Structure 1
Amino acid sequence: MDNGGRAFFSAEQTDRWAEVAHSARVNEYALARLEAPVQFSPLWEASRFVPGYPVADWCRSFLSAAFDHLLLWADYAAPLKFLPDAQVVIRLRPVLTIARAAMESAAQAVWVLSAETPRETAVRHVRLLLWDLDEQQKAATTAERKATIRDSRSAFLAFIEQDENDFKAPNYLDVIKGAAKWAADTATDARLEDAAHVERIWRSCAGAAHGKRWPQDELMTTVKHDDGSESVGPDPIAITDALNIADALAAVGGLYLAQRSRRLDEFRSLQALALVAYGDLITPWDDAGDR
């Protein structure tokens, strides 16, 4: 909305944004309560290759990070309780930055979970694990802390009797494209079918986060108001596309973490419980006044 309370966006557009918000709430609720992998499940087997660094724990952490970002969007754009005179001002860069962070976080889990065998799952996990430790070492504030992280990394590689050259760190684009393709094929999520579209949206989100000019040039649009006036605002299609991709990757990640843990029925039951719990808390639009 603008400062005069006039809606920039249609109900169809804002309803989709609210759906993403509520999807994040439901899936985060289920993920947070999901038990550890069942013995001899694919994720249990994968973790046997990497003692001390359970694959499911790391995948859960990636997905929790994705939901943290999406829930920030949810609490701002579609809070559980709306005041009658509430106004939500949507700006391009913050929402694309949140969507980008959620995409990158969730895609790492999906990329690991999409491996065909427990061994390949473990290999992908180790590639991300070592990447994580490298970044942690670079960020360490003392020489002693850097040495501790470096020694821990070396000890881990020695224990699994592997050379670090076999675990080259991937890049975010490859992880996102690989995760999206697998999710589109396996979970048949149409929002991820077009690889070129997924890449463009991710690049748009990254550009927005880095303060690049081109997303501002390409992803703003002229908005017509009820009184006939016009202004320039964020392109709602770009926002919807970014949130859809982030939501799709996070939702697929939660689903397949449960499936690879042999806890899919439990996950579905937790989702159902979340729908009931949040259904009692959400203020219907009709009770909240004008959007």
Structure 2
Amino acid sequence: MTFRSGFACFVGRPNAGKSTLTNALVGEKVAITSSKPQTTRHAIRGLVHRDDAQLVLVDTPGLHRPRNTLGQRLNDIVRTTWAEVDTIAMCFPADQKVGPGDRFLVEELAKIRRTPVLAVVTKTDLVAPERVGEQLLAVQSAGEAAGLVWRDIVPVSAVAGDQVDLLADLLVATLPEGPPMYPEGQLTDEPEETIVAEIVREAALEGVHDELPHSIAVVVEEMVPREDRPADRPLLDVRVNVYVERDSQKGIVIGRKGARLKEIGTVSRTQVERLLGTPVHLDLHVKVAKDWQRDPKQLRKLGF
């Protein structure tokens, strides 16, 4: 049997379903999802293990018109990833018409001559079959207008699992022959601290105002076993700082009498314990890093 291995990345405008699709293909949650635009801030790698292939999925931030230094750096991540992967899949949500942002992306992808590009119509479970058909035609037209020949165009629903396996087959077919790059069973190459921070950020994003999500950053300060615990009852102390840009935002994240922060901790701890396989004491603190999205020094401190 010929074994293939390589890298594929999902691109698309913000909230096109890239992270949900990555998780569906991997079979476990490796990228956080949210209805808030620009949720993804790192190139998260998820690993798909098959008998005939190992597919490394790179979930990138949505390419957008940057408003600050953070936005510029997120766009840099996207373009760097394009140059490094074996194949690219662009996501078009079925419940939104192909717009100027999509056409801009298609034109940018048309400039990449040697890398196969697939089109994926996502979120097909949200619309009628007729609408899916209209979107497939619109995607085909967008490619033709930009001079881009799609390798394939496939409709999928990551939530319902429709045609996810077919998409995996199409992506694997574009990969070069080669041995596995990661051990069997490994789902991501992200450090545990990074995934824990993302889990907390996902919980913090839920239910906050539209202007606040971009201002939230999360850093895991330490993860250490508690020394006075017996071997059969371990406990991991995880100290996490949640950063916002203004004092008023700090109050929103903490909530009335600390209720919002407590809810974030409860939701996060369950997922962190599942990830790490051990009981966790999650210690959350909210801090202000004034205008960190525009400050290169603070961006470096926060991992960007």
Q: Which TM-score band applies after superposition, normalised by the shorter structure?
A: under 0.3
**Which protein is richer in strand relative to its size?**
2
Pick the structure with more helix per residue.
1
Higher relative contact order (CA 8 A, sep 6+): 1
Q: TM-score, normalised by structure 1?
A: 0.26
